[in-house]
Amino acid sequence: MFWSVSARTKNQEAAQIFLNYLVNDQASGDLLLAERGVPANNVVRAAIADKVDATGRLAIEYTDAIADEVRPAPPITPAGGSAIDAILARYASDILFERVTPEAAAPAFIKELSDSIKK
């Protein structure tokens, strides 16, 4: 789970303290257990392992079993990047229904997506 704080928040320090609490504080771990997923903090995770329900226990066992296979999370999608699904679907539909050629759609798609990211 990606936690984030807007760069424009008026309460930057409070937000950082809150996120640190959610991720690294044992009291938060005791409250959340595995409700928001298996804690990424290994100390918190170990401390809650005996407190979670059967589903939480299975989640912890599963993440332990695949630990050697897991790679770092991909980068966070840039602001405006989530528009790609709608943009891609529209261009794909236009190509499939022969309203535009792939050669003409490609640069328009790239420009539209790039413009959405720059916002």
Predicted local confidence at residue 75, as pLDDT: 85
Are 48 and 33 a contacting pair, CB within 8 Å? yes
Residue 95: give the domain boundaries: 81-118
pLDDT above 80 (res 119): no
Report the domain count for the chain: 2
Are 31 and 52 a contacting pair, CB within 8 Å? no
**Residue 53 within a domain:** yes
Q: Does 17 share its domain with 61?
A: yes
**Residue 24 within a domain:** yes
pLDDT above 90 (res 82): no
pLDDT tens-digit readout, 21-72 = 999 999 999 999 999 899 989 999 999 999 999 999 999 999 999 999 988 8
Query: Which region holds residue 108: left if phi is over 0, alpha if psi is between -120 and 50, else beta?
Result: alpha
Out of 39, 65, 91, a domain closes at: 65
